[in-house]
A and B are shown apart, each in its own frame.
Chain A
Amino acid sequence: MSAEEFRLLRDHVYAHCGILIREDMKFVMERRLWPRLEALGLPNFAAYHRFLRYDTRRNAELDSAVEALTTHETYFFREPVQLKAFTEEVLPLLQQRNAGTRRLRIWSAGCSTGEEAYTIAMLLKESRLFEGWEVEIYGTDISRRVLTTARKAEYGPSSLRATPPEMLSRYFISLGASKVRVRDDIRAWVSFGHLNLLDAESCLLVPRADVVFCRNVMIYFDVPARQRVLQVFSDKLVPGGYLMLGHSENLLNLGAAFELVHLRGDLVYRKPELSWKVER
């Protein structure tokens, strides 16, 4: 991949969804997009760029390109420290806050193949705090292809490598040959949709949420794009709602829309309350 091909593709992807591929990631871009050239039978990256610009199949291909460039590691019960804090400290607060409506909404933004959204559902079930409640978990991702996997809810050993054995027996059905499917009552709480976080119009379709999980997604964005995404999260969170980022991410220099909350087990971000003080 020449420097110019790299820049053309990088700019094209950036214009589409705000994902910025750093200069030092040229090799990674080359490696990840090469299978796409192979699949399309294209001779070089210049031809691939032309394909993305002009071919009638360009929109679907752009999805594939973005997916190849951003496919992030995902598996059940990832980052257990944060999940523990979420379960033990955030969920009781949410139960208290929403006792009147008995409704809980959680958005898993950049949900990839769905492991995070289902993990959240399992944690809610496990907590027994929301029995009889109206629980909705929305998983969204920019890739249509990963959403197909998410809806299917069938997973292999790699996705399950951090799953505690008791959770495996409680919330999955074995399909043999090291494959499992998420149990139907967990699936019933989770729905999935295609969404570009930088597309304000499609974000209108997401309802307001009590918690947004967006772990290891914003690493792909540059600062202006991050700010736009944070604005979306701020708009979509109820006052006092929580934003759960990946452990290597923070909101330094990204504005004042969120405050850092020191839980006993972890640090999380929260949209400021309007005017009252919460007891916990």
Chain B
Amino acid sequence: MTTDVPTLQEEERYRAVLGLDPAGAGTLESLISALHDESWRVRRAAAEAARRLPAPGEVALRLVSVLGERGETGARNAAAEALVGLGDVALGPLIRLLGHSDPDQRKFAADILGQLGRRGAENALIQALADPDLNVRVSAVEAVGRVGSEVGARALERLLKEEEPLLRLAVLEALTQLQWPPPLPVVVPLLAEGRLRRSAYRVLGLIPQVAATELISRGLGSELRSVREAALGALGTQASVADTPLRAEIDAQARTSLKRLPNAMEFVSQAFEAEDYYVRAGALVAAGALREPTLAVLVAEAAREDRLLREVIRTLSRLGAEAGRELLGRMAELSLPARAAAAQALLEMVDPSYVPALSALLEWAEDDLRAVAVKALGRTQSPDAVAPLVALLDEPALAGAAVRALGVLSGGCREAVIKALEAVMEQRPVPAAVAAYAHAGGTAALPTLRRLARDADPLLRAAALDAAVDVDPAVGLELARGALVDEAAPVRASGARVVGRVGDASAGSLLRRALQDEDIAVRLAAVEALGEIGAAERATDLEAMVRHPDGALAGRAVRALARMGTIRPEVLRQAARHSDAEVVKAALQAGAVSAEGVALAVEMLGHPGWDVRATAARVLGDAGGRESLEAVQAALASEQDALARRALSDAVERLSRR
């Protein structure tokens, strides 16, 4: 038996293409010849190599000429692939090809322009929507669906009144791709046409109106399964675009319609197996409307599609406590994404009866699921939840969550929590237990905290200090004085943090030594604390830190100075020259209130980091005057990053109004 392993000759041709020198004479023609090879591997290698040739403009023109070779399907497809790979440089030649006398070539041009995805082709493609050849028009519609803006969408919308069903189908799909809802009266007649129905329902889902929901609900009651599924898809689409009030209307409408259907449960259960993502999304909305706990597992398993996670959690939460118990009982059988979604939803359903199942989850589940179980145990408000939570206080990954859960739990069963934590304090205190004990015990915990502040274990000393300040700020400050000269860095850092939390401006002298500490964590805490207490006499020390190569230290120094209101223009400039973009952003935010800061923001519009440019735009939008408008407009014209563009657009709009 032979395989389809390439022949020796094919292998040689393939390797010959790979070995071609991009700068060599005649390479382009060799590649064009290879585009005609009988082997797809050789053709693809040639298409790839074409991207790397010098003079891409010339390459694009030559490739366009290959598109005209009727009968050479392989070569034409390979040329199309190569043109897509060339990017912007292919745009001009392809737009010109849209005017070719041969409709076959015009269609090819539209197809490739769609794949290229460049907005620059939109106008030419919109013109092609009026091409005399139907195939060209359909390709142009699909291409506008990929590259179009609002202008393109409006042009497509007008074609929905055309006679040709194929064209209207393409338009519906393109509008869906653009997420552009046409007017409802235009869509209604299309729902009755068999070939268009699924796409028409999809577009209907994009219309955020109750009237559209009513039409969708009518579809849910259809005798035809295809119509019901299409309506379900529309329901899923509409739920994803609806705001809160409309969403409530959608749920109510869906509930009314589904309640009337004798086989709604069966239909919805089947829909979870659908290939179409929107049908599955609609099945979730329908399951939530039916509020049927037996659907819980199917709903949870829909989370295997990441995009449905939000809707899965919402739906499970609506199914009620019984569904929660069903999920907890079957947790071990669920897929990983289903377990994660179920655990999240359980937080909304939890009651005291959940404790045994949640405790069991702690025994075997992954850490992130265990963290949710910990949170849920806190919400049970059951004394039975105390022991499993206390047992987690010495597990680094979950100790923080356990402390918070015990805090929540102490709202309902304080005595049980305190008793358990006192036992821990006696036997084997750990930092998390200290925090939990202080939270639950309040001032009664102070003697223990004072004792632990002298413990041999530095982590316990630091924890006692952090906890004491929560209970009594004066005691915290008193302990912090000693902590600042502790031999252990974590305790010194904790001391500095405490001063920042409860000290006043006069406490600046306490932090002087911490600013020069050998341990960077202590210095960071001291810088932060100085900003908190507003110790202006330490500003010079902070200014020196702005030059520090460590971005964390420099950035925090900038923020501390800004909080004190003492940041000088030359310090701002220094920060803006820092190699760490986070420091530059801190400088921009700090300077937002000054003329110097605004000038700096204008300069930073040209920074290589998109987030710095976005921050500069926001600063100018907030604090700039109309004189900044021109610079912001220029920056917007050349901006490539979507988020920075949005920030710049907002700034242009706001500055234009000044």
Contacts and interface: CB of A to CB of B under 8 A. Distances in A.
A8 interface: yes
B337 interface: yes
Contact of A277 (B7, B307, B313, B372): B7
B404 A273 contact: no
B551 A54 contact: yes
A169 interface: no
Name, among A179, A256, A274, the residue most crowded by chain B CB atoms within 10 Å (CB to CB). A256
Contacts, number: 114
A156 B364 CA distance: 8
A245 B334 CA distance: 24
A35 B397 CA distance: 10
A148 to B, nearest CB: 11
A261 interface: yes
A137 to B, nearest CB: 23
B372 A262 contact: no
Contacts of B400: 38-41
Contacts of A80: none
Contact of A27 (B8, B14, B309, B552): B309
A205 interface: no
B521 A157 contact: no
A256 B11 contact: no
A229 B551 CA distance: 32
Contact of B44 (A32, A54, A156, A256): A256
A36 to B, nearest CB: 8
Interface in B158-215: none
Contacts of B371: 35, 38-39
Contact of A28 (B306, B334, B614): B306
B501 interface: no
Contacts of A35: 367-368, 371-372, 401
B248 interface: no
Contact of A275 (B11, B45, B337): B11
B424 interface: no
B6 A273 contact: yes
B2 interface: yes
A53 B3 contact: no
B307 A24 contact: yes
A178 interface: yes
A65 to B, nearest CB: 11
Nearest to B307: A24
Interface in B504-523: 521
Interface string A141-171: 0000100000000001110010000000000
Interface string B348-371: 000000000000000010111001
A50 B552 contact: yes
B48 A255 contact: yes
Interface string A1-35: 00110011001000000000000110110011001
Interface in B605-658: 610-611, 614, 643, 646
B420 interface: no
B332 interface: yes
B335 A158 contact: yes
Contact of A4 (B8, B340, B521, B643): B643
Contacts of A274: 11
Contact of A272 (B1, B11, B334): B11
Given A7-B611, A28-B306, A157-B333, A261 B4 contact: yes
Contact of B404 (A24, A38, A272): A38
A8 B581 CA distance: 11
Contacts of B550: 54
B531 to A, nearest CB: 15
Contacts of A178: 332
A39 B401 CA distance: 6
A280 B48 CA distance: 32
Contacts of A272: 5-6, 11, 14, 41
Chain A interface: which size bin?
A: 35 or more
Given A255-B48, A275-B11, A53 B333 contact: no
Contact of B41 (A7, A240, A259, A278): A259
Given A41-B400, A256-B45, A8 B611 contact: yes
A271 B336 CA distance: 33
B614 A156 contact: no
Interface in B312-336: 313, 332-336
Nearest to B335: A73
Given A24-B307, A25-B306, A31-B309, A161 B333 contact: yes
A253 interface: yes
A31 B6 CA distance: 48
A277 B551 contact: no
Interface string B400-413: 11001000000000
Contact of B582 (A40, A50, A255, A276): A50
Contacts of A68: 368
A160 B309 CA distance: 24
Contacts of A72: 336
A273 B8 CA distance: 9
Contact of A273 (B1, B11, B306, B372): B11
Contacts of B372: 35
B387 to A, nearest CB: 19
Given A31-B309, A35-B372, A277 B332 contact: no
Interface in B532-555: 550-552
Nearest to A262: B4
Nearest to A157: B332
Nearest to B551: A54
6 contacts: A27-B310, A35-B371, A157-B332, A178-B332, A255-B48, A272-B11
Given A54-B550, A279-B2, 9 more contacts: A7-B643, A25-B307, A35-B371, A35-B401, A53-B582, A158-B335, A179-B364, A256-B48, A259-B4
Interface of A: 3-4, 7-8, 11, 24-25, 27-28, 31-32, 35, 38-41, 50, 53-54, 56, 68, 71-74, 145, 156-158, 161, 178-179, 240, 253, 255-256, 259, 261-262, 272-280
